[in-house]
Amino acid sequence: DAKQVIFSGIQPTGVPHLGNYLGALQQWVRLQNSAGPSTKLLYSVVDLHAITVQQDPKQLRQWRREVLATLIAIGLNPDRSILFYQSSVQAHAELMWILSCTASMGYLSRMTQWKSKLSLKDDASPLDTGSKAKLKLGLFSYPVLQAADIMVHRATHVPVGEDQSQHLEFARECVTNFNHAYGPHLVEPTTITSPAKRVMSLQDARQKMSKSHPDPRSRIVLTDTPNEIKRKVMSALTDSTNAVSYDPENRPGVSNLLELLSHLDESGRTPSELGSVYSNLNLKEFKTILSDALSESLSTFRDQYHKIMAEDEGRYLDHVAIKGAKKARESAEETMVLVREAIGF
C-alpha cells in the first residue's frame, strides 16, 4: 500500500460551530482513531487563510489559541496527529507561489465562492465598481494556497465539509498542471466528506451554518453553555405549523432540527424516523428535547476545552504548536526538496 497522509485545516475565526464539528472536525477525530500506524495525520489552524479578510491582531492571536484548544478538546491527540499553525511552516506559502505559476486564472474565476463575493453584497445587490476594486487578490487566489496546504504534505485524503468540494477539485487540477510541467512529483488528493455534509443555519435552513453570518443565533458554537444552546434552539426559525414532521421541501426549518438530532442520535435513527417518533409533540417540546441532546453531547467537550485554556497559563498550547510546527516543517521539506529540484532551483 502507498502511505496514507491525511490533511485538513480550519480557519481561526472564532470558536468552531456545530457545522464545523459535524461536517469536518468529528471526521478528523474518527480518522485519527482508526488510522493504522503508518498513516500520517496533519491538522492545521490555517491563519494565512484567515487574513484574506482583515483581522485585528490581538483577536487573531486569541482565536488561533482557541481553535488549537478546540482541536485538542474534541479528541485530537498532539502526540499522534500533527497540530500546527499554518503560518509557522513557510513552505505552504512557497509552494503556493510555485503552483500559482501553473494554475489557471479562468478556473479560479469560476469558483462559486469567488463569484458570489464578486457579484453580491451582503444585502444581495450587485457590487459597484468601487466595491469591486476593494476585493483583495488573496481572496481570489486562496484556493491555490489551499492546494499548496494539501500538496506540500503529499496528502492522499482530505476530510472536509461539502462546501469545500469545488476547491478540492481545483487542487487536483493544480496537481495535473504542475506534474504536466515538471514531472510526477505531486500527489492527487481524494476528498472525504462526512455523513453531515452541510449543517444549516438555525435562522435560515436554506443557508449553511457559518461563522461569518451576522446573527449569532444562527449557529451553535461548541463552547455554548446549556442556557445559550436553549436560547438559540428555542428561537430557531421554523414555520407556522406547530407540529413535528420531516419534510425538507416544505418544512425546511423543522427538518433541519430533525437532521441535527439525527446526527447526535446514538441509535442512528434517520431524520424521518425521528420525525415519526416525535410526531405527537409540539415544536416547543421537540426543541427542548433537541437542546437537551445538544447540551449533553457538548458537555464533555466544554469541560475539556476550559481545562485546556486554564492550563494554558503554563503555555501548554505554545508547546503543542512548537512541536507540531517542527514536525510539519519536516513533512513539508520532503516535498519541497523534490519540487525545487524539478523546477531547477
Residues that bind ligand ADP (CB under 6 A): 10-11, 13, 19-20, 23-24, 160-161, 163-164, 198-199, 208-212
For residue 88, the minimal CB distance to ligand ADP (Å) is 18
Q: Is 115 a catalytic residue?
A: no
Q: What is the separation of C-alpha 121 from the centre of its chain, rounded to a whole number of angstroms?
A: 23
Judged by CB, which is closer to ligand ADP: 10, or 339? 10
Reported as half-sphere exposure (CB side, CA atoms, 13 A), residue 49 has a value of: 21
**Is the distance from CB of 16 to CB of 45 less than 8 angstroms?**
no
The owner of cell 487540477 is 173
For residue 330, the minimal CB distance to ligand ADP (Å) is 25
Judged by CB, which is closer to ligand ADP: 29, or 339? 29
- What pairing do the DSSP bridges indicate for beta strands 82-85 and 157-159? unpaired
**Is the distance from CB of 147 to CB of 171 less than 8 angstroms?**
yes
Judged by CB, which is closer to ligand ADP: 154, or 208? 208
The owner of cell 484556493 is 143
For residue 259, the minimal CB distance to ligand ADP (Å) is 11
Q: What is the separation of C-alpha 253 from the centre of its chain, rounded to a whole number of angstroms?
A: 23
Question: Which residues, in sequence order, are bridge partners of residue 76?
Answer: none
Q: Between the CA atoms of 36, 151, 190 and 199, what dihedral angle is there, to the nearest 10 degrees?
A: 100
DSSP code at position 335:
H
Judged by CB, which is closer to ligand ADP: 165, or 245? 165
Q: Is 326 a catalytic residue?
A: no
Reported as half-sphere exposure (CB side, CA atoms, 13 A), residue 92 has a value of: 24
Q: Out of 132, 134, 197, 208, which one is annotated catalytic?
A: 208
For residue 205, the minimal CB distance to ligand ADP (Å) is 11
Judged by CB, which is closer to ligand ADP: 49, or 251? 49
Residue type, 161: G
For residue 194, the minimal CB distance to ligand ADP (Å) is 8
Q: Could you tell me the end-to-end alpha-carbon distance of the chain, in angstroms, rounded to an integer?
A: 32
Active site residues: 117, 208, 211
